[in-house]
Structure 1
Amino acid sequence: MNHATLAAHESLDLHETLNLKTLCLAKSKLMQGLVFDQELRALMQKDVEQSLKALADLQALYEKAPFRTPVPDIRPTPILDGR
């Protein structure tokens, strides 16, 4: 069944998932500055790109949450290497 809004427990689960994915994204971006192996750095960059896509998909679902809290467009800012 396709509902116009999510149930309250689904909204909370989605909110928790968004928070966890955002924290994982921030950690991956920060850890890239500490990694010297280029293969590992490339793998971490791929994780960052996939996480950004997953967050965009999750934010689209978040629009169905009944409490309609706005989702900020803020992304973690890089602090190393100016990227």
Structure 2
Amino acid sequence: MNKQKLAVHESLDLHEVINFKTLCLAKSKLMQGLVFDQDLKRLMQQDVEHSIQALAELQSIYERAYFQASVPQNRPTPIIDGKEGTIH
């Protein structure tokens, strides 16, 4: 099947959505450490899992973008409590 490229404005919009969703994902993941209510923490974890799935779907659509920025394979290491850590 021949996949059509997205129009320029669609590519830009999709790029903005991916950036916004990535920012929301990072915020939800990092804010979990500040939450003490277990129900809220569980809800935030569900949001993280759904966001990861949504980003995977958006990235597959991004392959059809008019232009593309490379998706880095190595992500920066977050610093948590003054020490380098990992986001799981």
TM-score under structure 1 normalisation?
Answer: 0.84
SS at match of 2:34: coil
Q: Relative to structure 1, is the Cα distance of residues 67 and 4 closer, same or farther in structure 2, using a 3 angstrom cutoff? A: same
Q: Which consecutive residues of structure 2, in runs of 5 or more, have no partner in the other structure?
A: none
Matched residue pairs, number? 82
Cα shift at 1:47: 0.1
Which residue of structure 2 lines up, in the alignment, with residue 64 of structure 1? Answer: 64
The alignment's C-alpha RMSD in Å is 2.3
- The equivalences for 1:29-68 within 5 A come to 29-68=29-68
Deviations along 1:42-75, one digit per CA (max 9) or x if unpaired, are: 0000000000000000000000012132222456
* 1:39/1:29 CA distance change after superposition, 3 Å: same
**Deviating runs (4+, > 6 A) in structure 1?**
none
RCO higher in structure (CA 8 A, sep ≥6):
1
The percent of aligned pairs where both chains have the same amino acid is: 66
Q: Which has the higher strand share?
A: 2
- 1:8 equivalent to 2:8? Answer yes
User: C-alpha distance in 2, partners of 1:77/1:29?
Assistant: 14
